[in-house]
Structure 1
Amino acid sequence: MMPNSSWKKLEDKIRDLASVMWNRTAAPERISGVNFDAVLKISSEEIVLIEVTEERNLAKIREDIAKIRAIKINYAVDGVFAKAFIVMRDEPTPGMMELARDSKVNISSVERFSQSVFDFDAYANLRLTRVFGSAINPATGKPDEHDYIPVRYMDDTGRRQYSAGDIAEKLTRGEKIILLGDYGTGKSRCTKETFSLLVNKVKMGGKFVFSINLRDHWGATTAIEIIAGHLKRMGLSGSIDRAMQLLVAGHVVLILDGFDEVGSQIFGINQSRRNSIRKAALQGVRELIEQCAAGVLITGRPHYFNGNKEMYECIGISPKNNYEPCLQCATEFDVSQAETYLKNVGFEATVPQWLPRKPLIFLVLAEIKKSEAEKILSSQSGEISFWGQFIDAVCEREAKIHTSIDPSSVREVLAHLARRTRWGDRELGRLTPKDVNQAYEDATGAAPDDSGQLMLSRLCTLGRIEPESPDRQFVDPYIIQFLFAENIVNDISARNTDVLSERWRQALKSTGVDFLSQWIDLYSLVSDAISIIKRETGPTNSQVVAELVSALSLIEMEGVDFSDVEIKDAEIAVLALGGGELKNVSFKNCYIGRVAFEACKINDESGFSIEDCEIDLITGLSAHGGLPKWVVGGRVGLLQNVSNAARIKSSNLPAAQKLLLSVIQKIFFQRGGGREEGSLYKGGFGQQFDRKVIDNILSLLVSDGVVERSKDGGRSIYNPRREYTSRMRAIKDQLSLSKDPLWQKVLTFDGRKSQ
């Protein structure tokens, strides 16, 4: 037996569905001594009677049918046609169906009655065969059929975690949720898993659910356009009107994948104009969410909007009406999840500490020959070396399959495709067959033959954008950022000044700038990079100049004189002002992701200026009023206060807690990956070095699973578990107010007060 509250909800649902089906109000009513759960008066000559019953008992059904038959006869005498329904929780038996048929009474389960309103089974079966967002097999463009790896999704604080089942439950309660995550972190797999879970709930009397890829509805300005377009793609165009009725009545849960894929991200214009463009692009999505009276899950990248306020306004979800509207995808699998994935696809290799554990990376690894993938996974090199090996393995693989092309030519094809991606308006590219063929010809000097065409169609660093389109894109931003940086290094080495005349629309992100900076430093290309920067005054391609200056700013060196270079309208991921003095260079009307003032070498005599730029984040200054006079106009999104470090240093915290904060800072918040053990055996925040205490702290962090320890040539490397970053930040912020167990445990290591 269902609980009374659940049964009442089911009765309410049947009344609501009946109201939609007959476009009349359905209400309970007692007629001739019989209580009906829903009565709809269609006209003076027609009435609909609905009885909802929980019992699956033939004698009870026979009794109900007898009462209904008598009432039908009474109505018939008065010239009124009464159409009667008995709706059961479960499927009726053949005997029940025969009794009902003989008495002209319709009998069905809740599921079948729902289907008579909207054929959800047909929709669900069709939808499960289609692609969910970017959850696709990169080789075929078909849906990703690998087993779902259960992961957790975090709230804004990082303290509360949710499973896909928890999200499904929240949606059934009518909550509206925004799931944020970078490309390849599993947003689309979450939508697929959540949809599958909700499909099963529909069979138990739950709401219907539509899962919509928003990129399929670019330019849609109304809710009806999106619903109609979606159902037409499913081959269900005859159900559009009924679907809209159910949506408005609160019987459809919406899963919307990719709010960032219905409009371009645009730079080089003012902030208010960009905001208005994004809001206009999401007009149809916003109307759809506002019209939906049930739960909504919508996904997208976290930095598409200029902050949460704009996101809420553009999407149409208000945090005031929802307890936790925002959830975050973990950026990576944890070790256990990664190992489970490898095991599921037949790999025996363990997961190395340095491997980026993004779900999409594992999907690409699964497409590489097993022995080659296991060779990559057994390497103990760092991230930049991994990507080189990874792409080399892909090129070797393709050359072995297609003997008409050698590995270096495959690498050249990728380089040319990356260059073409630079010119386009999509971060991962939208490469037409013509683009791909031309890249092959540019790399080899000849048009692709049949073997070359086959290689191009299967290149596993490229993936289909959707099954219906021949266009392709790079499957992961790490890969494209690596190739972007590699192209610049090749241009510097070859002194290719033609690059200054190109027009780039895609910029290096922080990852790409790190790659570029490491290569310039490793191969001693600083002077070559400066030569390219100074080559032309006002080059067409300000972007390459900006990226070279950005990369140079990360290298510890003497001051660099750029000879009055002016950089305009560029997108710059990071500008570090503590590596060396950057002289005689100005930035105007640029977008800068982060300006780092730590150990700043710039002074008023440096000839350095940032004018009318939009800066997302400034670190190393204490307040907006502390901006130097050479930062003029523009907008600063967030200024990260450095007074936290100062107050740690000057506080009366115990020595062990200060050393814990120092270790946390180095492992979790300094640039780069893991930290070698030797770099951690130092003091910090004014506290002197104490090896015993630091050993205890490191052991505690490892045993609690906050940090992972690996070996590299006999040296211990400590790597952060990124899912605990927000927890570590909270310890830093709260200090003596922190109740975190780690904070309390370190007090037992050393009773001395800070010095």
Structure 2
Amino acid sequence: MKHGGQLSWPTTCLTCYESGWPSMPQDESSFEFEARALNIARAIHDPAGLQGPVFYQGRERDAIFVTSDAIHAYEFTTRRDVEKAKHDAQKTKDMLTELQRKPENAFKSLTGWFVTREEPTADQKKVIAQMLRGSQVVIHPISVTTLLGRLCNSEAYLAARGKAPFGSIAYSIRQNFPDVKVPVPFFAKQGGLLHVGDVSERLAAGSRFLLSGEFGIGKSHALREIYLSLRKAHLRSHKLKRFPLHINLRDCVGLRSPAEIIRRHAEEIGFPEGDKLISAWRAGSCTLLLDGFDEVVPPRWLGSASDLKDFRWEALAPVRRLIEETPTNSGVITCGRSHYFSSEKEMLDALGFGLTCNLLTLNDFDKEQLQKYLDLVGVQWSVPDWMPTRPLLIGYLVSMQLFSEIDSTLGNPTTAWRKLFSAVCERESRMFVAVRPQVIQRLVSRVATIARSNGDETGPVDVSMLRTAFIDVNGREPDEEGSQVLLRLPGLAIADAETNSALDGEKRYFVDKSLAETAYGEDLAQYLISPYDSHALSRSASWVQAASELGIGVATAACVDAGVTATGVIAAAKRRQNNHQYDAVLADALRVHFELGPGKGNTREQFLIEGVIFPFLTLSGDDPIQSRTTFSDCVIETLDVSDVDAGEKVPIFRNTIIGYLEGASRIPDWLNKNLTSCEIYNFSAPNRTTAAIMELKISPERRVALAILKKIYAQPGSGRKEGALFRGMDMRSRELVPDVIGKLVSGGWISPAPAGREHLYVQVKGIRGRVMRALDDPASFYF
């Protein structure tokens, strides 16, 4: 190390000064403050390398930056006394005066900087000004906040960032309701519950987080709340704390380096100083928030499961570098859909996180959060049991103002799920340039059909199945954007990343059974509309599970929208029957036919359903097609006979297993004669049948009310058509039904939902327990 008139710096100190910004600047030591200030000065003058601390004429100087046209000398201090300002100013003045005399510096500007943690006192500024009177040397007394402003105007950045979209929040339908906030709980894998303030504090301390969650769970909203918390802390600390740098990764298509990502981000939000933003990031002056790691489009994808990890690794290369090159003590959080990866380990590796990364997840609204949200937006509504509590979907319902009236069609699960399905596909399509929402809807619908081939309506589906769906819908191989669409299809997830090995072929599942049923119902309708086209459902079904009541309702509504009549549907069923396809699709087609119009379609065709599993099957005396159908070797988990009156025709059952007979405490005579080698394991409790309820020693109105509630709440999430509520009662009781229905609706026991030909009455969320207690103890029931 040389002294005297030569500049030199002790290499042993460089590593210490590289430590970056400490976790709590207001409590930092003098050494930590000097390290932080030096990093900022380095980024301002020479982002590529550190210049300082140095020695000149035997005295240590905190930093000197020498360029071809300027020399900048720095002194950093946490002290507030005048003597310190006088000492450092004199030291800087002497050095700059000496350097100015050297020939090589004749045409260089020389500037000194006296940098304090808080704003310099008036006395410090005064004494420095007095010392420089009559001198050509310039020394600026400033705070580290002002110094940071020279590096990057964080206030201007935050103003620009606040006006720009935040992740997928930008794709929500505009709301006419106030911007309300419901506390966001994060579930840490290591155990415990964290809130926005907890995560923000740990980020400020330099921690790193990876937030994953499924479609619509509220990841972008949560990241924005963290951004707002960090923004507030930065401004309230007079910019002593790091400012949040929030980047939407979907804007970074085709980029290759961290610098390109930050420049693109600056352009997208309208911030003109992208290079300064890069310098601030490298100086450790900001906390990094990255939204949507699953939205980064890579240059190519060959389409097989074997190279999918390479696909993701390549796609996330610039993001990985951005995280890895962020200064060690700067906080980082990124979020995305966990199903983008096949395992947790791959996710951590591809994103450049080490073992010390904190893993967080988000869950659906619980009952308390849901009610608080509805209260804040001014919605008064009895939420039915089928209502999803996923924040995104709840937000869509509010945005579309479907809570405005109690008798909204939202009360119909079929209508509601179709609206939700359409809305999420519309939202997803806005993230891509050339993909229409109808295409995404058809893709998800086809995936739902393909998923059933693996034995469950929720999946699994692998990469080859996703590609098959894309080719079926579009008639071509997926291109770059199409590949990304497939990986991001809304509603799909990996059920258990830890068990999803490479041998599993990147299997995915629908995150919600009702969503899968809705999507399948839409695809079933497309087949029934054009049964002669080369639709996937025109082939024999490789699955045995019949659609749920929701799936049938969705298919029926889609057929109505397309102008398809019961006659058209029965034609498709007859074609299937003639092809000896006695499968689940035929069963679904016959049920859609009944929903479209019982008694229509004057066919005398006899139908056979063979080897199909029904989770729930309702018999009806109004359906002549059903009465001419034979169910052979089937499994019916619940067979509801409540809507059949004595003397009406019913189907034939052969070698069929019935798990539960709803609406009868024993086998009725009219059904027994149509059973051949069948087994029935359980029956309704004697007091739960319509006949038993109508014999109770309570008022006629209460009997009718209990009978109606029993039918509507027979299965979780199901509803009943108005006509079915009259069945099983004598004429006098039937006269009371309209008035009792009105009282049950006004009392919040049931909810009406127009369903085309007649009204549908559905369950109300949170009431099922009360209904079951009333059926167990009818004497205590009043409404």
Cα distance in 2 between the residues matched to 1:578 and 1:89: 78
Residue 299 (structure 1) aligned to one of 310, 329, 335: 335
The change in CA–CA distance for 1:512 and 1:109 in structure 2 (over 3 A counts) is: farther
Conservation of the 8 A alpha-carbon contact between 1:497 and 1:532: no
Residue 371 (structure 2) aligned to one of 339, 363, 369: 339
- Residue type at the aligned position of 2:343: G
Structure 1 residue 387 corresponds to structure 2 residue 417: yes
The change in CA–CA distance for 1:341 and 1:422 in structure 2 (over 3 A counts) is: closer
1:328 aligns with: 361
Cα distance in 2 between the residues matched to 1:77 and 1:492: 89
- Equivalent residues in 2 for 1:278-427 (5 A)? 278-293=312-327, 294-318=330-354, 320=355, 322-324=356-358, 326-330=359-363, 332-349=364-381, 354-369=386-401, 372=404, 386-387=416-417, 419-423=438-442
Structure 1 residue 256 corresponds to structure 2 residue 281: no
Which secondary structure does the structure 1 equivalent of 2:184 belong to? coil
1:119 aligns with: 153
With the length of structure 2 as denominator, give the TM-score of the two structures. 0.51
Structure 1 residue 84 corresponds to structure 2 residue 108: no
The change in CA–CA distance for 1:309 and 1:68 in structure 2 (over 3 A counts) is: closer
C-alpha displacement of 1:206:
3.3
Cα distance in 2 between the residues matched to 1:49 and 1:205: 22
Which secondary structure does the structure 2 equivalent of 1:124 belong to? helix
- Residue type at the aligned position of 2:50: T
2:199 aligns with: 167
Conservation of the 8 A alpha-carbon contact between 1:182 and 1:301: yes
Conservation of the 8 A alpha-carbon contact between 2:292 and 2:336: yes
Conservation of the 8 A alpha-carbon contact between 1:484 and 1:512: no
Conservation of the 8 A alpha-carbon contact between 1:481 and 1:511: no
Cα distance in 2 between the residues matched to 1:316 and 1:16: 24
Which secondary structure does the structure 1 equivalent of 2:169 belong to? coil
C-alpha displacement of 1:212:
1.4
C-alpha displacement of 1:191:
1.7
Higher relative contact order (CA 8 A, sep 6+): 2
Residue 614 (structure 2) aligned to one of 509, 533, 555: 555
Residue 221 (structure 2) aligned to one of 165, 178, 189: 189
Which secondary structure does the structure 1 equivalent of 2:170 belong to? coil
The change in CA–CA distance for 1:714 and 1:139 in structure 2 (over 3 A counts) is: closer
1:466 aligns with: none
The change in CA–CA distance for 1:118 and 1:335 in structure 2 (over 3 A counts) is: same
The change in CA–CA distance for 1:340 and 1:501 in structure 2 (over 3 A counts) is: closer
Cα distance in 2 between the residues matched to 1:533 and 1:265: 44
Conservation of the 8 A alpha-carbon contact between 1:228 and 1:237: no
Conservation of the 8 A alpha-carbon contact between 2:244 and 2:286: yes
Cα distance in 2 between the residues matched to 1:97 and 1:535: 97
Cα distance in 1 between the residues matched to 2:315 and 2:579: 38
C-alpha displacement of 1:113:
0.5
The change in CA–CA distance for 1:292 and 1:709 in structure 2 (over 3 A counts) is: same
C-alpha displacement of 1:65:
4.0
- Residue type at the aligned position of 2:253: W
Which secondary structure does the structure 2 equivalent of 1:166 belong to? helix
- Equivalent residues in 2 for 1:224-623 (5 A)? 224-236=259-271, 238-240=273-275, 242-248=276-282, 250-263=284-297, 269-293=303-327, 294-318=330-354, 320=355, 322-324=356-358, 326-330=359-363, 332-349=364-381, 354-369=386-401, 372=404, 386-387=416-417, 419-423=438-442, 484-491=519-526, 496-498=531-533, 500=535, 515-516=550-551, 555-556=614-615
2:52 aligns with: 27
The change in CA–CA distance for 1:393 and 1:278 in structure 2 (over 3 A counts) is: closer
1:49 aligns with: 73
Cα distance in 2 between the residues matched to 1:256 and 1:535: 57
C-alpha displacement of 1:106:
0.9
Which secondary structure does the structure 1 equivalent of 2:203 belong to? helix
C-alpha displacement of 1:137:
6.3
Conservation of the 8 A alpha-carbon contact between 2:418 and 2:518: no
The change in CA–CA distance for 1:59 and 1:384 in structure 2 (over 3 A counts) is: farther
The change in CA–CA distance for 1:132 and 1:340 in structure 2 (over 3 A counts) is: same
Which secondary structure does the structure 2 equivalent of 1:292 belong to? coil
The change in CA–CA distance for 1:255 and 1:93 in structure 2 (over 3 A counts) is: same
User: Taking every aligned residue pair, what percent have the same amino acid on both sides?
Assistant: 22
* Partner deviation per Cα, 1:44-70 (whole Å, 9 max, x = no partner): 996533233334566764665456445
- Residue type at the aligned position of 1:233: E
Conservation of the 8 A alpha-carbon contact between 1:492 and 1:532: no
Conservation of the 8 A alpha-carbon contact between 2:40 and 2:151: yes
Cα distance in 1 between the residues matched to 2:613 and 2:422: 27
Residue 109 (structure 1) aligned to one of 105, 120, 143: 143
Residue 14 (structure 1) aligned to one of 17, 27, 37: 37
Conservation of the 8 A alpha-carbon contact between 2:258 and 2:319: yes
* Partner deviation per Cα, 1:490-548 (whole Å, 9 max, x = no partner): 34665744371799xxxx9x99988426768999999999778788899xxxxx99x99
Cα distance in 2 between the residues matched to 1:174 and 1:493: 58
C-alpha displacement of 1:156:
2.9
Cα distance in 1 between the residues matched to 2:302 and 2:71: 64
Cα distance in 1 between the residues matched to 2:297 and 2:256: 12
The change in CA–CA distance for 1:553 and 1:120 in structure 2 (over 3 A counts) is: farther
Which secondary structure does the structure 2 equivalent of 1:303 belong to? helix
Cα distance in 2 between the residues matched to 1:26 and 1:674: 69
The change in CA–CA distance for 1:280 and 1:45 in structure 2 (over 3 A counts) is: closer
Cα distance in 1 between the residues matched to 2:337 and 2:490: 17
Which consecutive residues of structure 2, in runs of 5 or more, have no partner in the other structure?
1-23, 133-137, 425-434, 448-488, 493-510, 560-565, 593-610, 618-632, 638-656, 658-714, 719-763, 774-783
Cα distance in 1 between the residues matched to 2:151 and 2:443: 45
Cα distance in 2 between the residues matched to 1:388 and 1:339: 23
Q: Flag the structure with larger Rg.
A: 2
* Partner deviation per Cα, 1:416-469 (whole Å, 9 max, x = no partner): 9865434569999xxxxxxxxxxxxxxxxxxxxxxxxxxxxxxxxxxxxxxxxx
Conservation of the 8 A alpha-carbon contact between 1:154 and 1:162: yes
C-alpha displacement of 1:710:
2.9
The change in CA–CA distance for 1:30 and 1:278 in structure 2 (over 3 A counts) is: closer
The change in CA–CA distance for 1:136 and 1:33 in structure 2 (over 3 A counts) is: same
The change in CA–CA distance for 1:487 and 1:531 in structure 2 (over 3 A counts) is: farther
Cα distance in 1 between the residues matched to 2:65 and 2:410: 73
Which secondary structure does the structure 2 equivalent of 1:84 belong to? strand
C-alpha displacement of 1:15:
0.9
Conservation of the 8 A alpha-carbon contact between 1:25 and 1:40: no
2:208 aligns with: 176
The change in CA–CA distance for 1:557 and 1:238 in structure 2 (over 3 A counts) is: closer
Conservation of the 8 A alpha-carbon contact between 2:206 and 2:331: yes
The change in CA–CA distance for 1:417 and 1:554 in structure 2 (over 3 A counts) is: farther
C-alpha displacement of 1:200:
3.9
C-alpha displacement of 1:222:
3.1
Conservation of the 8 A alpha-carbon contact between 2:396 and 2:420: no
Cα distance in 2 between the residues matched to 1:169 and 1:371: 37
Conservation of the 8 A alpha-carbon contact between 1:709 and 1:716: no
C-alpha displacement of 1:247:
3.9
1:645 aligns with: none
